[in-house]
Structure 1
Amino acid sequence: MEVDGKTLTITNPEKLLWPDLGIRKLDYLKILLELAPYLLPHVKDRLLTTIRYPDGFQGKSFFQKNIPDYAPGWIPTIEWRDNQYIILASEAILIWLGNQACLEFHIPFNPYDRDQYPSALVFDLDPSEGQTFEDVTEAALLIFEELQALQITSYIKTSGASGLQIHIPTGGKYDYDTARKINEFFAVYFSQKYPRQITLERSVAKRGHKLYFDYLQMWQGKTIISPYSPRATAYASVAAPLEWGELRHGVKPQDLNLLNISSRLKDKGDLFAPLKNGQNSRSCQDLDFILEKI
């Protein structure tokens, strides 16, 4: 394939990565090219961690942080904590990774040149055993209404698996310590106001049928699934940004997948566009009033 002026050799193009859905590697690469204008702006300034599935989504997998020795020399990298991370800054790099059967793209909360400052607060909402996605939706909408009452703009996406993630863009105004304090404040507030739905209990066995509000995940060196990243699920889901109204109408993770994501993006565009503009974005939230309350 010719991509960005680079000649890429595609190996095993007929290999089925999602056998039940009939998605071959070649199909996957074509979809990645359609995703590229939406995915790349959210990952191009981040240290990339991928999960590779050489035998398809049902096979064995492994995390990849270091760039492999056999990678082309034109792929840019940045060293951090003894790892040489790939910077996913072009379609050619994306297709090269897709050919390596990278089915998921995970990124840190901060750009590589501002390693102390997350770009947004993130509320990671994980269902407990026995909970449905409707339970996650109920809690997310309660949180949304509370944020609206505080005049805080928030954006939501599916994790692509079973959870939801709420993003509040801050433009890197707060360092990790400060952002963690704000996240903890919200977590405690929501768990106390909605004790039937939300818990901060880290022990899975002790959560019962409550949603886990994971405020600890947002930290330096930890990662989150990128907007528009595929997921290695049976229905080839995509971590897709949503409109809050869609959540009210009952959208589910399996509704947003590799087979229909391109048509959705043509219709909706990038719903997470306000989060990719850094410190100059008008969407960035000033949360100093929360710090004053703390």
Structure 2
Amino acid sequence: MGVKETRAIRVEGKELTISNPDKMMYPEDGITKWSYLLHLTRLAPWMLPHCRGRWLTTIRFPDGVHGKSFYQKNVPSHAPKWVRTAVWNEVEYILLEDTATLAWLANLACLEFHLSFDRVDAPDIPPELVFDLDPSAPPFEKVVEVALYTKEALDGMGLSSYVKTSGATGLQVYVPIRRQYTFDDTRRVSRFIAMYLAQKYPRLITIERTVKNRGDKVYFDYLQHWRGKSLIAPYSPRARNGAPVSTPLTWEELKKGARPEQFTLATIHGRLAEKGDLFARLLAEDSRHDLTDILKWIPK
């Protein structure tokens, strides 16, 4: 048997050995494991602030985007000692808190990074409301329409909102909230908004969980936002042709026709250099909304 190629690197003072650096991760896009790792290290300053302090679930594709995949929650036994972890519900999760850990995960062919809705330092206290808008059928413009209706409803409640592509076919809307509400509290608010929109736009929006019963409507998923569940991280790649990236947008961009396939590993760096992190406000304490008055008039 031939000797497998490896490449030794140092990231933030940590020694890493990259195995099979020339293996194709995204064949149609010419992205090898090595070039994928370089993309991730460039994304690290933008991605890591949103990942720190959250339980991480990755999806690994050892043979690239077209190969078999599996979810990784528990930290593997061969992890370097410097990889930080946290235990919750008998799972020892990886904490994605530095560029060295991100590079190590790239070497494991982690092509997607999914984050918990709550934080390690405050379990059951999510710092955002999150709505996942998932099309049942084309065109993407229907998802955009639902996102804009969602923003309109949130504006009417005095809640500022931020939107990103899922990196696949949908959109995700975030509302930063004070760190004092439980998932039970946020479920009351999100269910109220979901039911209001589904009743106001019944030909466009559904909250039906069964896929076959959705028809061609956009699924307004408010149930995903819950303890123990996760969502694709801002700036995470997705395991799809084109190497798309889950990318924050301005509402104006969305109105003007922005589409998920525009935002890829090939284009994201230039965009970030130009626009910066459009989700940065989600991390600011002074951007967080008080839901107390809203909870008073929403039925339990």
Please give the range of the TM-score, normalised by the shorter of the 2 chains. over 0.9
The answer as to 2:292 corresponding to 1:288 is yes
**Distance in 1 of aligned mates of 2:170 and 2:17:** 36
Any stretches of 5+ residues in structure 2 without a counterpart? Answer: 1-8
Give the drift of 1:208. 1.1
Local SS of the residue matching 1:282: helix
| Deviation by residue 1:22-67 (Cα, 9 ceiling, x = unmatched) | 0111111111011000100011101111000000011100000011
Q: How does 1:176-187 map to 2 (within 5 A)?
A: 176-187=183-194
The size of the alignment, in residue pairs, is: 290
Letter aligned with residue 2 of structure 1 = R
Equivalent pair of 2:127/2:179 in contact (CA under 8 Å): yes
Please report how far the alpha carbon of residue 195 of structure 1 lies from its aligned counterpart in structure 2 after TM superposition. 1.1
Match of 2:198 in 1: 191
Q: Equivalent residue for 2:169?
A: 162
SS in 1 for 2:152: helix
Conserved in 1, the CA contact under 8 Å of 2:26 and 2:32? yes
Question: What is aligned with 1:235?
Answer: 242
Which amino acid letter does the alignment assign opposite residue 42 of structure 1?
H
Deviations 1:144-196 (A, max 9, x none): 12222332100001110111000000032211101101110001111111112
Q: Is the 8 A contact 2:178 2:290 kept in 1?
A: no
Secondary structure of 2:181 counterpart: coil
Q: Deviations over 1:98-148 (max 9, x none)?
A: 0000000001111111111011000111111x2321110111111112222
Give the equivalent residue in structure 1 for 2:30: 22
Following superposition, which runs of at least 4 residues in structure 1 exceed 3 angstroms of deviation? Answer: none
What percentage of aligned pairs have identical amino acids? 51
Q: Kindly provide the CA deviation profile for residues 182-230 of structure 1, in whole angstroms up to 9, marking residues without a partner as x.
A: 1100011111111121111111111111111111111000001111101
1:1-294 matches, within 5 Å, as 1-128=9-136, 130-277=137-284, 281-294=285-298
> For residues 116 and 189 of structure 1, what CA distance do their matches in structure 2 show?
25
Q: Which amino acid aligns with 1:259?
A: A
Q: TM-score, normalised by structure 1?
A: 0.97
CA RMSD of aligned residues (A): 1.0
Structure 1 gaps of 5+ residues are none
Any conservation in 2 of the 1:131–1:210 contact (CA below 8 Å)?
no
Once residues 275 and 265 of structure 1 are traced to their aligned partners in structure 2, the CA distance between those partners, rounded to angstroms, is 16
The answer to whether the Cα contact below 8 Å between 1:199 and 1:212 also exists between their aligned partners in 2 is yes
Partner Cα distance (2:44, 2:50) in 1: 10
For 2:204 and 2:291, locate their aligned partners in 1 and report how far apart those are by CA, in whole Å.
25
Q: Which amino acid aligns with 1:20?
A: E
CA-CA distance at 1:255 after TM superposition: 0.2
Distance 1:197 1:289 in 2: 30
Separation in 1, partners of 2:34, 2:94: 22
Distance in structure 2 (CA, Å) of the matches to 1:259 and 1:171: 36
Deviation at 1:89, TM superposition (A): 0.9
CA distance in 1, matches of 2:83, 2:28: 33
Report if aligned partners of 1:107, 1:224 keep a CA contact under 8 Å in 2: yes
Letter in structure 1 aligned against 2:74? N
The letter of the residue matching 1:105 is: F
TM-superposed CA distance for 1:233, in Å, is 0.8
CA distance in 2, matches of 1:238, 1:224: 13
The amino acid of 2:171's aligned partner reads L
User: Aligned partners of 2:222, 2:97: CA distance in 1, in Å?
Assistant: 29
